[in-house]
Amino acid sequence: MDKISTHYFNDPLLKFIQRIQWIPAIVPVLYLICFFNPFVFNTIFVPLCNTHPEYIEKFINGGVVYILPCFCAITITLCLCIFFASLTFFFQNHYFISSAISRLPNLLLETFPQIFWLYIISFTIDTSNNEYYIKWYIIIAITYSPIIIDQLNSRINDLREKNFILAETMVGQNRFVIFFRDIVWYYCIDIMVVQSVYLISSIISMEACMAFLMRISPDNSSSLGTLLNTLYFADIENKWTDSFLAMITNISTLFWLTLIVIISTIFTLNKIASSLEQKWTLK
Amino acid sequence: MKSTNLIQAYLFRIVIYCILLAGFYIALYYITDQGPNCTSDWNRLIDRFWTTTRLVFVSFILLLLLSILLAAGQSFCDYWRKINRIDTIYVFIVGIGIKFFLFLLVLLGIIPIFLTAKGFNILLPNVGAYLSLIFANAMILQIYPHIYNELSSELQSAHIYGAMSGGIPPVKTFVKRICISSLDISKSLYINLLGFSIFVEYQFKEAGSSFQGLAYDFISALYDHENDWCMAFQAFCGIIIMILIVDTIWTFAKIIVTRKS
């Protein structure tokens, strides 16, 4: 690292700015406290919200909806990414497989806008049962896979020419062991952890956007994005209000609370990911 | 990347476009049970095509200019600091100014931007559509660091000092570097903006926006016309043609740049 950047990172003012970026993390923590101890929420926020108790229950339980689908989505996406990235290692002498087939998801997803893909696929999913969430989140996560595949590919391309990998190959070590132990486990785990955190924030933001703007999720679903949509259209009949002030006063407090929770969670997750990335890069 | 590789990749992408179109066309037989029956006027599609192109292209240029301005500003601050050693002003401008601006941009995510646009009915709907498309996605957070990294590496390399001693003004070298780095990301940026136009065209229709293009047709076919997949297919064809045109222009520009450098 050169002189300028070392000085830049050690600047007290910038350190202070870096620290205040953690402030939004208070909101998800408070939200978790409210989930485990609804007494706090009932005494402080419920009198403020002044909405139907059903919506308040949805708000409290909305965060749980994300846990299992996000876990499934990340696991499946990472496996898929490792599979496609492994092609560059195992078939390095076959140009077509290592360059074209391994980048097939990237080519497919980069040639056509991600949101159009999501929109088309959303019409083919059965939204009547709860498994809908898992499918929907997996699809959203897969559309973000090109970023992870690109990063894994570049890391694997760097590593496969290294002396220790070449030495292990010459000794006769199993290529699967070299790939999964020496490359993926030792050198790619940082990429996967950081990208998983980014992936969660991307899933939450995309789901919220699509549920709010396109009304894709079913009405009876309990995600925070759907809650935003329900509250907005319950409070405002005409979508285009006369003034900003009228909109603020017409929409219930719970809507703004939900929006703050979503945005703060995305902020916090992005901050966690960027901090992890920075630490690993400096190492 | 060599120009032959670029042409190979381009031809491979054309095959993918053809597969996408053929796949959708075959899928229509299974979805509609009667086969494709595209009743909409194809000439209307051309009008829609130009509407979307206008919206996306103007937003694309504005977003690129904004990113270049930010990156150039920060690079200039780096350069200035290197020469003058004025730490306080540097930290103020770079540390707070630009970072605060980026922080604001992230804060104005897609939902807050739409709420603001909907709340301010006084704002012209077309202007609102442009602003939403530019600021609602976080693409600036990817473009700006990319251009900034390119510029700062140029600033630290010996090229710029060599060019200056050779009589070539540094601005020329900077502009060249900006153009090359912008070209690298322009295709993905255009496609990303095209994707986000689906939100903008549909949402701003009710406010009286004139942007009712391909993305609007696409969403309207499936949502308002209750799964009219034939109409959606027509819009899909238009979108693929638009992407193909952009891809062709981008590949040729990239080949020219690669050969020159």
Are the beta carbons of B120 and A243 separated by less than 8 Å? yes
Where residue A1 falls among pLDDT bands split at 50, 70, 90? Answer: very low
Q: Per-residue b/e over A67-77, b at no fewer than 16 CB within 10 Å?
A: eebbebbbebb
Joined together, the tokens standing for residue A27 give 């909101």
- CB contact, 8 Å: B107 with chain A? yes
Calculate the average pLDDT of chain B.
78
Contacts of B2 (CB under 8 A, 6+ apart): B258
Where residue A4 falls among pLDDT bands split at 50, 70, 90? Answer: very low
A245: helix, coil or strand?
helix
Are the beta carbons of B243 and A214 separated by less than 8 Å? no
**How many CB atoms sit inside 10 A of residue B196's CB?**
23
Nearest CA in chain B to A122: B222
- CB contact, 8 Å: B218 with chain A? yes
Residues of chain A with C-beta less than 8 angstroms from the C-beta of B112:
259, 263
Contact indicator for B28, B35 with CB cutoff of 8 Å: yes
pLDDT tens digit string along A135-168?
888 888 888 888 888 888 888 888 888 888 888 8
- CB contact, 8 Å: B192 with chain A? yes
Joined together, the tokens standing for residue A96 give 């077509």
Are the beta carbons of B121 and A267 separated by less than 8 Å? no
Q: How far apart are CA B54 and CA B40, in angstroms?
A: 22
How far B2 CA sits from the closest chain A CA (Å)? 14
Amino acid letter for position B198: I
Tell me: pLDDT of B121 over 60.
no
Residues of chain A with C-beta less than 8 angstroms from the C-beta of B117:
none
Q: How far apart are CA A251 and CA A235, in angstroms?
A: 6
- CB contact, 8 Å: A14 with chain B? yes
Q: pTM value?
A: 0.82
> Is this prediction's ipTM beyond 0.85?
no
Number of helices (H) and strands (E) in chain A: give both, helices first: 18, 0
Contact indicator for A152, A188 with CB cutoff of 8 Å: yes
Q: How far apart are CA A208 and CA A203, in angstroms?
A: 8
Are the beta carbons of A247 and B243 separated by less than 8 Å? no
Where residue B58 falls among pLDDT bands split at 50, 70, 90? Answer: very high
Calculate the average pLDDT of chain A.
78
Contacting A residues, span 100-119, partner chain B, CB-CB under 8 Å: 100, 107-108, 110-116, 119
Mean pLDDT, residues B115-127? 65
Mean pLDDT, residues A187-207? 88
How far B163 CA sits from the closest chain A CA (Å)? 23
Percent of chain B with pLDDT over 70: 79
Tell me: pLDDT of B96 over 70.
no
Q: How far apart are CA A23 and CA B134, in angstroms?
A: 27
Tell me: pLDDT of B108 over 50.
yes
- Angle, in degrees to the nearest 10, between helices A145-159 and A67-90: 40
pLDDT tens digit string along B136-156?
777 777 788 888 888 888 777
Contacts of B107 (CB under 8 A, 6+ apart): A263
pLDDT tens digit string along A22-70?
888 888 888 888 877 777 777 777 777 666 777 777 787 777 777 888 8
Contacting B residues, span 40-99, partner chain A, CB-CB under 8 Å: 78, 81-82, 87, 91, 95-96, 99
- CB contact, 8 Å: B21 with chain A? no
Q: What is the pLDDT of residue B116?
A: 64
Tell me: pLDDT of A72 over 80.
yes
Residues of chain B with C-beta less than 8 angstroms from the C-beta of A263:
107, 109, 111-112
For residues A242 and B178, the model is more confident at B178
How far B110 CA sits from the closest chain A CA (Å)? 7
Where residue B101 falls among pLDDT bands split at 50, 70, 90? Answer: low
Residues of chain B with C-beta less than 8 angstroms from the C-beta of A243:
119-122
* Site of tokens 């202070």: A16
Joined together, the tokens standing for residue A256 give 């703004």
Q: What is the pLDDT of residue B209?
A: 77
Mean pLDDT, residues B113-120? 63
